Amino acid sequence: MGVGRTAPHRVRAAYARALSSIPLPVRAVSVPAGEAMTVLGEAEIGDGLIYFGTMTSAPKLWVAFADNGSDDSGRIFGYPTGLLGGEPEVHVPDQDSLRWTMQGDIAETLKRHGLNVWNDARRWCEG
């Protein structure tokens, strides 16, 4: 009476695909504050400009709101992982930003632009 022998596998695969499309809430990583970020790329995402960059004290690709004079101006709100393997995930420690990243296709756009910035930076560094 079930949907077939492979139903559990198909359900798990569909669940894994759905999970990979949303940003991951993270509570253990402290976002660096007060240090200038070296901007490696930028993208127009949602209703504003987003910076992708790195810092000397925390060497990973960070994602921040652009300096636009608002309350969120220059605030780092997350980071992508899985860039080397080409399957990025976005980790967002800030709950307000997490809600924003879950709207529409913002998470997918962050992943895509983060991967592009990462690959461009690698090509530039490798010459």
Examine residue 2 and state whether it is found in any structural domain, yes or no: no
Residue 77 pLDDT > 80, yes or no?
yes
Helix (H) or strand (E) holding 97: helix 95-101
Q: How far apart are CA 67 and CA 103, in angstroms?
A: 22
* pTM: predicted TM-score of the whole model, two decimal places: 0.74
Range of the domain at 86: 7-126
Examine residue 26 and state whether it is found in any structural domain, yes or no: yes
Examine residue 59 and state whether it is found in any structural domain, yes or no: yes
Examine residue 60 and state whether it is found in any structural domain, yes or no: yes
Instruction: Please state the domain count of the chain.
Output: 1
Examine residue 103 and state whether it is found in any structural domain, yes or no: yes
Examine residue 69 and state whether it is found in any structural domain, yes or no: yes
Question: Dihedrals φ, ψ of 45, to 5°?
Answer: -130, 135
Enter the DSSP assignment of 1: -
pLDDT-derived band at 68 (thresholds 50, 70, 90) equals low
Examine residue 1 and state whether it is found in any structural domain, yes or no: no
Q: How far apart are CA 24 and CA 90, in angstroms?
A: 6
Structure tokens, 57: 């004290």
Examine residue 36 and state whether it is found in any structural domain, yes or no: yes
pLDDT-derived band at 84 (thresholds 50, 70, 90) equals confident
Name the residue with higher pLDDT: 89 or 73.
89
pLDDT reported for residue 25: 65
Calculate Rg over the CA atoms of the chain: 17
